[in-house]
């Protein structure tokens, strides 16, 4: 189905980050980004997993076919959407990922 909208997520720093929202059947090219798996509950996105990568398509394939606890959790969680925030360089992605990780309860990020 593809892109369904845009939503802002706020970090612990109170900085807001804009994410494009996609259905899980969307196919992506390689991209540098911060990404979130979410599920919709009562028309509200609930956080499941936050990550960052320099190769989005490859990383999503790893989640889909992975054996890590976080991969299994994402598969069991009822994820409905993927949120993508394009961002270079890695240091900036790590900053955003950490800021978001510290502001929400992520059910599939191993703390």
Domain ranges of the chain: 3-101
pLDDT of amino acid 33 = 98
Measure the CA–CA gap between 24 and 1, rounded to whole angstroms: 8
How many residues are listed for the chain in this entry?
Answer: 111
pLDDT of amino acid 110 = 75
pLDDT tens for 55-104 read 999 999 998 888 788 888 998 999 999 999 999 999 999 999 999 999 99
pLDDT band at 106 (very low <50, low <70, confident <90, very high): very high
Instruction: Report the CATH fold assignment for 3-101.
Output: GIY-YIG endonuclease (3.40.1440)
Note whether 81 and 7 are within 8 A (CB). Answer: no
pLDDT tens for 2-41 read 999 999 999 999 999 999 999 999 999 999 999 999 999 9
For residue 1, pLDDT over 90 is answered with: no
For residue 45, pLDDT over 70 is answered with: yes
The neighbour count for residue 48, using CB atoms within 10 Å, is 24
Q: Angle CA(109)–CA(19)–CA(8) in degrees, nearest 5?
A: 90
pLDDT of amino acid 111 = 52
């Amino acid at each position: 189905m593809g892109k369904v909208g845009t939503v802002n997520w706020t970090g612990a720093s109170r900085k807001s980050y804009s994410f494009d929202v996609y259905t899980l059947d969307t196919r992506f090219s390689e991209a540098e980004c911060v990404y979130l798996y979410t599920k919709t509950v009562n028309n509200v996105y609930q956080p499941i997993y936050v990550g960052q990568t320099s190769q989005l398509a490859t990383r999503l394939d790893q989640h889909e076919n992975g054996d890590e606890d976080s991969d299994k959790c994402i598969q069991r969680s009822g994820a409905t959407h993927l949120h993508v925030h394009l961002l270079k360089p890695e240091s900036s992605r790590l900053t955003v990922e950490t800021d978001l990780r510290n502001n929400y309860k992520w059910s599939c990020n191993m703390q």
